[in-house]
Structure 1
Amino acid sequence: MATEIYAVQMTPPQSTARRNSSGLGRDIEIIELLGSDEAVAEGGLGVMRIAQLTGRDKAVISRTMSTLADAELVVRDETTMNYRLGSRLFAIAARTTEASLVSRARPHLRNIAQSTRETTHLCVLRGGNVLTVLSELSPHEFRTTGWEGVTTAAWRTPSGRVLISDWDRASLTRWYHEHGRDQPLVGPLNPSMAAAGFAVLETPPENKAIVRDLDSLLVELQRIRERGYATLDEELELGVVGASAPITDFTGHIVAAINVSAPKSRIGGQLDRLGAYVAQAARELSSSLGAPTAMA
């Protein structure tokens, strides 16, 4: 889900204070205009309209827009010639959101790890797969590994399946065709995991595989929506089980997932009980992010 840049009501400036401000201030003014209701409705704004709204010379605006486009802060539609907010701006916004999320989630993850006495992770979707941005380790000497900074295939993990569980079918179909056969480790291991010789199963055991094709993925996602959590039983690592649940923000959309992983020898037949606990913990964190009551 793309991070939203909020719209502002747009009227031509009435004073020259902003118009005669620094170059950075003038660039920010243009970026704000491209996030306005009018720009969103029209699919962007052209040089003439931006010049009109800012009260600045068309040639100056044209040069400014070229500079912003080179920095990927704005992008130009080759058909309409209108400018829209660019991918780099959204990427910066997404990183800011993630930093805030990690800060909010840290005490929650610490409480979950202390309550379950198992390793707990905060995961987000990045490039169609799962990035672990925070881990709290189990106090047990025998425990699962912290995954901070590691990217894994979403189709192989409960966190990944949770993170896409609120998508529509068309989006899921596109995603599956692109990522439904990604390798279990999409990015490199962190140094501590690599030094320990850590490895995952290249393919899930036949009797443990949850996702075999698009249809089985859709069935599993419906199950996640009904239960409020997803589970894993030695699908990625031998002897390791886990449960994940979605975190929603004030828009009601899933922005992250909590995952608790543990040796199967300690969890035994209580995996669904763990899943229900993680789902409740995720609802509490979602509430702190302003999620609607029905979602939290």
Structure 2
Amino acid sequence: MHTGYGLGRDIALLEALASDEARRTGGLGVAALARATGREKSQVSRALQAMAGHGLVERDADTLVYRLGWRLFSLVARGSDSRLGAVAEPVLHRLAVELEETVHLCVLRDDALLTVRTVSGHSYRTTGWEGRRAPLPCTSAGRVLLSDATPDELFVRFGAVEDLVPDYPGSRVHTVPQLWRAVREAAERGWACSRDEFEPGVAGASAPVRDFRGRVVAALNVSGPTGRVADRLDEVGRAVAAAAAAVSAELGWSPGAAPRAGA
């Protein structure tokens, strides 16, 4: 009983450190945490010291405020891939049925996107995508997967390359500045689109999936024949954005929270 009570009080401290106030201020001090949890400062201080010793929280040496720690994020990250798949699966099926098109779940792997799940809602299907990699610049999913990148990060990743996708002449993105504009356009609209850029005769739209920190961890993509999809890309884009938002919410992302800088 005592152990459960103590665990509950520690969880209350972690929840306070994950609050909007903590995010805005870069952390909370002992006094603020004591007020937030209704505990004595001495009790809060001892609990924080114990959690810091296990990496669950960390203390800023200059400001003396506490933040969520590296080990907590590591534990979450280790479970994120399986959590993502479990949460996304029913959403993929609903979206495929709603639009009667093929839906993909894509993640960033090194300098390419990887399709980890494909669900078809139509007799037409872009086959064989699960486990395949594709370039980032010429795909709508790739552009939303880069939503968190700053211009400097894009130049570090791609800057030494004269043509980002020389094998894809239909792409409207071939340089880093063009990629940055496409990434920002997608971020402002909430979804990205492509028409015959990666594969002739195929159009699609993608939207980002964010985790509890607001970090983009995946993209939902809807693809189909250009003749059928291109004329309703706005409808498809809005639907895929809503579906991605639903997955993000299940992963703990609050739509009212501000994404990380550069997103």
TM-score band (shorter)?
0.5 to 0.7
Please tell me the residue identity of whatever aligns with 1:134.
R
**Does residue 1:133 correspond to 2:104, yes or no?**
no
**Does residue 1:169 correspond to 2:151, yes or no?**
yes
CA–CA separation in structure 2 for the residues paired with 1:289 and 1:126: 20
The residue that corresponds to 2:82 in the other structure is: 99
Shift of 1:94: 4.3
Cα distance per residue 1:10-40 (max 9 Å; x no partner) = 449xxxxxxxxxxxxxxxxxxx7456525x8
CA–CA separation in structure 1 for the residues paired with 2:82 and 2:162: 28
Select the residue among 112, 123, 127 that pairs with 1:145.
Answer: 127
- Summarize the Cα distance change of 1:219–1:153 in structure 2 as closer, same or farther, 3 Å threshold: same
**Does residue 1:155 correspond to 2:109, yes or no?**
no
Cα distance per residue 1:48-85 (max 9 Å; x no partner) = xxxxxxxxxxxxxxxxxxxxxxxxxxxxxxxxxxxxx8
Shift of 1:172: 2.1
The residue that corresponds to 2:254 in the other structure is: 292
The residue that corresponds to 2:44 in the other structure is: none
CA–CA separation in structure 1 for the residues paired with 2:61 and 2:163: 37
- With the length of structure 2 as denominator, give the TM-score of the two structures: 0.68
- Summarize the Cα distance change of 1:242–1:99 in structure 2 as closer, same or farther, 3 Å threshold: same
Matched position secondary structure for 1:293: coil
Give % identity.
35
CA–CA separation in structure 2 for the residues paired with 1:288 and 1:34: 25
Alignment root-mean-square deviation, CA: 3.2
- Summarize the Cα distance change of 1:247–1:269 in structure 2 as closer, same or farther, 3 Å threshold: same
**Does residue 1:121 correspond to 2:104, yes or no?**
yes
Cα distance per residue 1:114-166 (max 9 Å; x no partner) = 111111011111113211111112331x3222411111111121111101112
The aligned length equals: 206
Matched position secondary structure for 2:231: coil
Cα distance per residue 1:250-292 (max 9 Å; x no partner) = 2122111100010112224112221122112211221222211
Asked if 2 retains the 8 angstrom alpha-carbon contact of 1:244 and 1:279, the reply is yes
Shift of 1:228: 0.5
- Summarize the Cα distance change of 1:210–1:129 in structure 2 as closer, same or farther, 3 Å threshold: same
Where in structure 2 are the equivalents of 1:1-296 lying within 5 Å? 9-11=48-50, 33=54, 37=58, 94=77, 96-140=79-123, 142-177=124-159, 202-205=167-170, 209-294=171-256
The residue that corresponds to 2:32 in the other structure is: none
- Where structure 1 has 5 or more consecutive residues not aligned to the other structure, the ranges are 1-5, 13-31, 43-84, 185-201
Matched position secondary structure for 1:149: coil
- Summarize the Cα distance change of 1:131–1:288 in structure 2 as closer, same or farther, 3 Å threshold: same
- Summarize the Cα distance change of 1:94–1:150 in structure 2 as closer, same or farther, 3 Å threshold: farther
CA–CA separation in structure 1 for the residues paired with 2:160 and 2:85: 28
CA–CA separation in structure 2 for the residues paired with 1:218 and 1:176: 11
Which protein shows a greater Rg?
1
- Where structure 2 has 5 or more consecutive residues not aligned to the other structure, the ranges are 1-17, 19-46, 63-69
Please tell me the residue identity of whatever aligns with 2:219.
A
Shift of 1:218: 1.3
